[in-house]
Amino acid sequence: MDCSSDTGLVSWEQEERGALYRVHAHGADGHAVECSGAAGGCQLPGMHCGQHYNLTVTVLDGHCDNVKYDLALQSAPCRPTNVRTSLQQCPSTLATVTWEHASGAASYAAAAVTAGGDGADSCNATAATSCQLQQLLCGKTYNVSVVSRDEGCDSAESEPAHLTTAPCAPQNVTLDMQCETGNLTASWAHNPDADSFETTVVSHTGAQWFCMSTSCHCSVENIDCGHHLTVTVVAVTGGCESEPSAPVAISSVPPGGSRGIARPDEMYNPSSEFWVYPGVSYQLDLPGKPPREGAQEAS
């Protein structure tokens, strides 16, 4: 078989000089095709894919027609149809490829290639009509096609399906904390694969803040003093989130402050923390107790 053109190739050694050989092929689906030649062989064009053909070779020598051979030929497998792709739950870059069974196929091979050619992956299946791509890159769009295979032929490629993977995690996250206003701004490198970004700020106390942005920065307001903060950013494309960025830590404590612990005789909660800054006056008011006369200045 010439698999690329669905052409059957028949050859012989000529036994009678001047004799004409005629080949008749009859497929399992009823399709029939013929060819003839005087020496060497002939071609059976336009054979249907995925069919078993019975061939008869007749020698025409001008005196009598003799059926010399009964042969068999398997045409190229049909190409797969209805190829579909689906990502596993984001942010995974694993994807499943499915298709419909193709006549004449003994196995299948799926190939995924990025539009720019900078990424490729493949998977194979024998009895099944699905396989899993496991080495996809984040933030890429792939063209995915499948071919059928038998012992001697590959089919033509299927119509391609398109697959977009989860966006890549934001990179180079930097933070700017304005303690006077309680505003925290997170910035990160440009990410063309993302539609939007979600920033998560977590305090050591368990408090959380969130902000959404379509640009490369986002601000959270009204963060009180005294928090130790961890910030991560995820990119979002079509409802699919990336892996979180590398966490970045910062404190909402102005420079020069020192930590203190409230003593039990001063507050009802002995584990409460406060921050002391030189030159700043403090007054502690407790429930049920009158305010102190005069505030003590920290030094």
Gap between the Cα atoms of 140 and 163, Å rounded: 8
Q: What angle do CA 248, 249, 254 make, to 5 degrees?
A: 140
Q: Looking at this protein, which amino acid is placed at residue 172?
A: N
Tell me what pLDDT residue 4 has. Answer: 86
Q: Which of 61-65, 152-156, 161-165 has the lowest mean pLDDT?
A: 61-65
Cα torsion through 178, 181, 182, 185, rounded to 10: -50
Confidence band for 62, pLDDT divided at 50, 70 and 90: low
pLDDT of 130 over the 60 cut: yes
Q: Where in the chain are the domains? A: 3-74, 81-164, 174-251
What is the per-residue pLDDT across 63-103, written as a single tens digit (0 to 9) for each?
666 767 789 999 999 999 999 999 988 888 899 999 999 99
% of the chain surpassing 70 pLDDT: 81
What is the per-residue pLDDT across 1-22, written as a single tens digit (0 to 9) for each?
898 899 999 998 876 677 788 9
Q: Select 174-251's CATH number: 2.60.120.260, 2.60.40.10, 3.40.605.10, 1.20.1560.10.
A: 2.60.40.10
Cα torsion through 246, 251, 254, 255, rounded to 10: -70
Element (H, E) at 142: strand 141-149
3-74 and 81-164 in the same fold = yes
**Third-level CATH fold of 81-164:** Immunoglobulin-like (2.60.40)
Q: Select 3-74's CATH number: 2.40.30.10, 2.60.40.10, 2.60.40.180, 2.40.100.10.
A: 2.60.40.10
Half-sphere exposure of 167 (CA within 13 A, CB side): 24
Whole-model pTM over 0.85: no
Q: Give the bridge partners for 273, in sequence order.
A: 261
